[in-house]
Amino acid sequence: MMPHPATQILVWICLAFVVQTLPPVLLAAFTVMLLLLAVRMHARQLFTLMRRTRWIFISLLLIYAFATPGEPLWEWAYAPTREGLFDGLVQLGRLVSVLASLAILLSLLSTQQLIGGLYVLVYPSRYLGLSRERIAVRLALTLQYAENAMRDTASDWRNAINSALNPAAETSRSVELLVQRIRRIDVFVLLLCSAFLIGTWL
């Protein structure tokens, strides 16, 4: 039986923190492993995420390569440095690891399961006087609008821009919240991951 969606989401968040601390060699091996697993489970999801973030990849590598002090790759006043290129590749590895693990997560969870998992994770917000239901509904609508906007922009960006500039029509929408039962093992993993995140934050 699959873990609860909230457990899977929190494990992914912990994984995103862990990859920031891995040494380059382990990071490279971990990134390759996640990429192979993501391609096997949902290659289309992975390629979509990579395509949408390609300019972030390029910008990140260029910024590190040209802005980090070190030994220049060639004799030129504005040449990239070896240290900068290395640091940029490390940061790219971390970003690719997060995106590959996100593709795996999205292949395991439907949109309803994702919203239901986040609904469980924001449980402490009730002690701050916030409504979990309202947060979940807003998140569901945001994901829906974002997905539709990215799809429409990719197919016809001119009409997508014109639609964004025009006032939106008033429509009524309903959101079905699917909350699965949490097992004891899920509670244990959630507490363990929460303790890890708190320790990392402190």
pLDDT at 60 over 50: yes
pLDDT at 1 over 70: yes
Give the chain's length. 202
Taking the C-alpha atoms of residue 132 and residue 134, their distance in angstroms, rounded to an integer, is 5
pLDDT at 73 over 70: yes
For 81, list phi and psi in degrees, rounded to 5.
-105, 155
pLDDT at 157 over 50: no
Q: Give the up-direction half-sphere exposure of residue 152: CA atoms within 13 A in the CB hemisphere.
A: 13
Pairwise pLDDT comparison (24 vs 153), residue with the higher score: 24
**Mean pLDDT, the chain, as a whole number?**
83
- At residue 129 the predicted structure's pLDDT band, cuts being 50, 70 and 90, is confident
What is the structure's pLDDT at 153? 47
pTM: 0.80
pLDDT at 163 over 60: no
What is the structure's pLDDT at 154? 47
Pairwise pLDDT comparison (78 vs 65), residue with the higher score: 65
Q: Mean pLDDT throughout 23-40?
A: 95
% of the chain at pLDDT higher than 90? 47
Pairwise pLDDT comparison (119 vs 39), residue with the higher score: 39
- At residue 202 the predicted structure's pLDDT band, cuts being 50, 70 and 90, is confident
Helix (H, G, I), strand (E, B) or coil at 129: coil
Supply 85's token pair.
């290129």
For 74, list phi and psi in degrees, rounded to 5.
-150, 165
